[in-house]
Amino acid sequence: MADMNMSKSAGVMVGGAMMTADKDIVDNAVNSSDHTTLVAAVKAADLVNTLKSDGPFTVFAPTNAAFDKLPAGTVNTLVMPENKATLTTILTYHVVPGRLLAADLKDGQTLTTVQGETLMVHRTGNMVMLHDAKGGKATVTVADAVSKNGVTHVIDTVLMPAK
């Protein structure tokens, strides 16, 4: 994981693009080549305007490789209009109200997501992991991509809510 002690004033490199604090979460994400699936899903769920709003939000952003770990066909099924509610549930499970930098995430901490369920934080030194409602685990691979309306942490696995 990226060194959490580094200066964030210049931004954080994610998916070949610099994430900077003068852009919102969506405008930063669309430039990341590692997040094209997430961006497409956010658009399909009509969450773009929400994630461009004032926030602040903390987003745990699965990479394309994280979505690739899902069973074959899952993403294509989720982005179909008739599955918008399920997609929205999954995506909002990756968003926590407020601006939580990696340094704010403590071992054993419970985070309540915008979706309404919780994530459990596990931390060992600078490594941060999230445990979802179904027993899945995601590791933060790039921390503290600060945007003007929040912060994004890149994760290596799609988190799944209980419902």
For 14-48, how does the pLDDT look when each residue is reduced to its tens digit (9 = 90+)?
888 889 999 999 999 999 999 999 999 999 999 99
Q: Is it the case that residue 103 has pLDDT exceeding 90?
A: yes
What stretches of 69-163 adopt beta strand conformation (E)? 95-97, 110-112, 118-124, 127-131, 137-147, 150-155
The Cα–Cα gap between 63 and 37 comes to 8
pLDDT band at 6 (very low <50, low <70, confident <90, very high): very low
Q: Which H helix or E strand runs over 50?
A: helix 48-52
**What is the structure's pLDDT at 13?**
87
Q: Which residue has the higher pLDDT, 61 or 4?
A: 61
The Cα–Cα gap between 22 and 111 comes to 26
What's the chain's average pLDDT?
91
Q: Is it the case that residue 1 has pLDDT exceeding 80?
A: no
**What is the structure's pLDDT at 48?**
94
Question: In percent, how much of the chain has pLDDT > 70?
Answer: 94
**What is the structure's pLDDT at 4?**
39
**What is the structure's pLDDT at 3?**
37
**What is the structure's pLDDT at 9?**
53
pLDDT band at 123 (very low <50, low <70, confident <90, very high): very high
b/e sequence 38-51, b meaning 16+ C-beta within 10 Å: bbebbebbebbebb
pTM: 0.92
